[in-house]
Amino acid sequence: MEGRKGMRVNGKSHIPFLQEEEQQLKPRFPGIPTTADGAGAVVWVETHITQGACAYPITSSTTMGGGYQAEVANGKRNLWGEELAFIEPESEHSAASTCEGFAVAGGRVTNFTSGQGLILMKEVLYTISGKRLPIVFHIGARALTSHSLNVHAGHDDVYGVADCGWGIVFARNAQETGDLALIARRAAEDTETPFLNVQDGFLTTHTIENVRLAEPELMDLYIGHPSRKIRNLMDPAIPLMSGVVQNQDSYMKGKIAQRTYYARVLPALRAAMEEYRRLTGRRYDLLMPYRLDDAEYAIVGSGCMMETAEAAVDYVRDRYGIRAGVLHLTCFRPFPSVEIVEALRHVKAVSVVERLDVPMMQSNPQLCEIKAAFADAMAGTPGYPAVTHMPRFYGGSAGLGSRDVRAGDFIAIVENMRSARPRVYFTVGIKHETALPVPDDPDVRGPGSFSMRGHSVGGYGSVTTNKVIATIAGEVFGMDVQAYPKYGSEKKGLPTTYYLTIAKEHIRVHSELEHVEFIPLNDVNAFNLENPLAGLSRRGMVFVQSQKTDPAEIWSSVPAWARKVLRDKEARLFALDTVLIAREASSRADLQQRMQGIVLLGIFLRVTPFREAVGLSEEALFGGVEKSLEKYFGKRGRQVVEDNLRAVKRGYYEVLEVPREVMHSTTLTDEAEAALRVFQAHAGAGPSLAAGEMPL
């Protein structure tokens, strides 16, 4: 099979975007291997290279601002020993204005925002770019409040400020987020143009993945001290006017004169990406194609869902023989028109998938500009490659408000392009007259992947435990990991779902997991709310929270329909009273509820095969566990770390497995109940199903 330049076929490079020849020659700065989410990757960069941050917290960017502020509170200094400042004014508008003042005085500053916060800043964004202030803002891209409030991923906030004169780059994962923070800063200061570094809210900001953090030495070499490039517009030794009132005689001349600066941005950004590749081995470009060289059908877009598209394209090629490819728009501003025409001019059809919908535009923003680029090329505009035909263009909306976007959705998009009656505008992931039918939704995880889907309750600590498990799997077992929660705005006390995948290669699937090997049920009510066993693999594992210690009693407490599913799938069932262990292990009453989640870490380590696979002793294992617990809970004090470690060890050593003979002891009664339920369902009569039971 043929892969795109700069990435191994199927994305199997452990270091994203490292070329084959470069993997044989170790780069000067390969990065510090660890695990982090997108927010953490940004905080790592900005607390090393900036002098301050001015931000007002707004979901989903809050963890970036909170992480920066925590470093300031802990006394961290930047690479040059300067004390960091964190300023939190009364609104996002004021935060942007404060950044403006910081930069006008020659300081290197940053901001973290999202959604309505970014839109509220818009007035100030124009003045920042107009004064040529090379600031970098980090965006947790979020759907805007329109018909309702949503705090999850969408790109309408970013496109809402796309006309403000800022460069805009999009990341697909945590690694790209951290790297693009440096690349955007370099391009910004080389051209005196501000930049937005965009990652998908929650889906990237809060997803734990393997990353290679930039070494401090790299950041010093690549970015350097602020005084090297940033002008101090308030320096009395160099008097000038900035932000003055201009009338008919002057304003237009100054506005058009700014084109001189903007003409430098695209080549400067490309040069910054190329130098970063030389230093780190990680390759970036304005556009990131995947299997596009011989493609007849192209899927175009930005953000984390485009990695899922890559996995889907591999499946479409292997299963159906359809030559499909993917094009990720890393850079949206400046818009790389010539490069897009060059990349797509040979294909038959293009589908542009965007996390927004603007019904009154000619097309949604990316598609609109791609069409304009091709129109210029067809008209023979100087600088464009020769074009003999226009691809057929289709546009779609997907993933609004973090709506799940699956491999099957991208397969449907490819089928739409090949259809005799295609939808020019389409949606995926919802039921609507514009929605594409999904013909196939396969498991596109890499070979040997191990996935977990947990069902818990907000406030139980399960989401944090999921992050700790990912950290251990990545840093102790040396595996690739991806851990993320299905956040709701409801928070504590209501059901939550969290996901984890562990693999030997880079994990590209950014969607809710429906094919899993392990299902922990911290929520004892999970069987009454849904079918938590959906997608469990054959010979998979299930854990249930239970106060019972007799395996027969544990088994009898599981609903009959679920017992049949577990038996049919030859699953293993484990149980333990995590609530009791948390109560006994915690020295602080206020942490008892949250600590029941960490007990699951011990259970996970005991029932999964990873310790044995890497030949790790239990002593070494718990040494790694303690290190990870220190990373997440060290700020609460040594006693809290020790309490959590005690809870983990108890989960590891005390978890019970229900024997196979016990699971088969109820076969006849379970089959009889199943048959009765099926008969009642077909007859439409008889007693209703008992609580927690599901029709087969």
- The pLDDT tens digits for 31-52 are 999 999 999 999 999 999 999 9
CB atoms within 10 A of CB 371: 18
- Contact criterion met (CB below 8 Å) for 524 and 545: yes
Confidence of residue 9 (pLDDT cuts 50, 70, 90): very low
State the pairing for strand pair 450-457/495-503.
antiparallel
> Residues 153-164, buried b or exposed e (16+ Cβ, 10 A)?
bbbbbbbbbbeb
| Token couple for 682 | 């077909």
Which positions ≥6 away from 249 have C-beta within 8 Å?
none
The average pLDDT across 285-302 equals 98
**Domain boundaries 287-427, corresponding CATH code:** 3.40.50.920
- Report the pLDDT averaged over residues 484-504: 82
Given CA atoms 135, 159, 264, 344 in this order, what sign does their dihedral have?
A: positive
Instruction: Over range 644-661, report the average pLDDT.
Output: 97
CB neighbours of residue 433 within 10 Å: 6
Helix axis angle for 462-475 and 592-607, nearest 10°, is 40
Least confident of 269-278, 325-334, 533-542, 633-642: 633-642
Give me the pLDDT at residue 22, please. 46
What does the CA dihedral 165, 167, 170, 176 come to, rounded to 10 degrees? -150
Q: Angle 462-475/618-633 helices, nearest 10 degrees?
A: 130
Residue spans of the domains in the chain: they are 31-230+247-279, 287-427, 450-676
Query: For residue 136, which of 170, 83, 99, 104 has the smallest C-alpha distance?
Result: 99
Does the domain formed by 31-230+247-279 have CATH 3.40.50.970? yes
Q: What CA–CA distance (Å, rounded) separates 196 from 71? A: 22
Work out the average pLDDT over 654-660: 97
The CATH code of the domain at 450-676 is 3.40.920.10
Identify whether the C-beta of residue 180 lies closer than 8 Å to the C-beta of residue 197.
Answer: yes
- pLDDT over 80 (residue 57): yes
pLDDT over 70, % of the chain: 93
Residue 81 burial (CB < 10 Å; 0-12/13-18/19+)? Answer: exposed
Query: Residues 110-162: pLDDT tens digits?
Result: 999 999 999 999 999 999 999 999 999 999 999 999 999 999 999 999 999 99
pLDDT range class, residue 678, cuts 50, 70, 90? low
pLDDT at residue number 528: 87
Residue pair 494/456 in contact (Cβ under 8 Å)? The answer is no
Give the number of residues written for the chain. 696
Q: In terms of Cα–Cα distance, which of 267, 275, 268, 273 is closest to 285?
A: 273
The CA distance from 558 to 666, in Å, is 11
Give residue-wise pLDDT tens across range 419-460.
Answer: 999 999 999 999 999 999 999 999 999 999 999 999 988 877
CA distance 193 to 169: 13
Cα separation, 497 vs 530, whole angstroms: 12
Instruction: Name 288's bridge partners.
Output: 328
pLDDT of residue 457: 83
Q: What does R_g of the chain's alpha carbons equal in angstroms?
A: 27
- Pairing type for strands 656-657 and 572-576 reads antiparallel
| Secondary structure percentages of the chain, helix, strand, coil, to 5 | 40, 20, 40
- pLDDT tens readout for residues 576-603: 999 999 999 999 988 888 898 899 999 9
Its sign, for the CA torsion 227, 231, 233, 239, is: positive
Query: Which residues on neighbouring strands pair with residue 520, listed in sequence order?
Result: 543
The band of 530, judged by pLDDT with boundaries at 50, 70 and 90, is confident
Any bridge partners for residue 199, and if so which?
140
Task: Specify burial of residue 653 (Cβ count, 10 A radius: 0-12, 13-18, 19+).
Answer: exposed
**What does residue 446 show for φ and ψ, rounded to 5 degrees?**
-70, 160
Asked whether the predicted pLDDT for residue 344 surpasses 50, the reply is yes
Tell me the HSE value of 417 on the side-chain side, using a 13 A CA sphere.
28
The pLDDT of residue 144 is 97
Residue indicated by tokens 């915690």: 586
Identify the H or E element spanning 521: strand 516-521
* Per-residue model confidence (pLDDT) at position 15: 46
- 336 pLDDT band, cuts 50/70/90, is very high
Any residues with CB less than 8 A from the CB of 612 and at least 6 apart, and which?
Answer: none
Quote the pLDDT of residue 565. 94
Arithmetic mean of pLDDT, 611-633: 94
4 pLDDT exceeds 80? no
| Rounded alpha-carbon distances, angstroms, from residue 476 to 432, 626, 639 | 46, 11, 23
Residue 163 identity: D
Chain-wide mean pLDDT for the chain?
92
Q: How far is CA 61 from the centre of its chain?
A: 13
Domains 31-230+247-279 and 450-676 share a fold: no
Residue 256 has pLDDT above 60, yes or no: yes
Residue whose tokens read 């809710």: 512
Per-residue pLDDT at 3: 38
Which tokens in the block code for residue 449?
A: 């992947």
In the predicted structure, residue 16 carries a pLDDT above the cut 60: no
Strands 208-213 and 480-486: antiparallel
Mean pLDDT for 328-350 is 98
Q: Which residues contact 606 (CB under 8 A, 6 or more apart)?
A: 651, 652, 653, 655
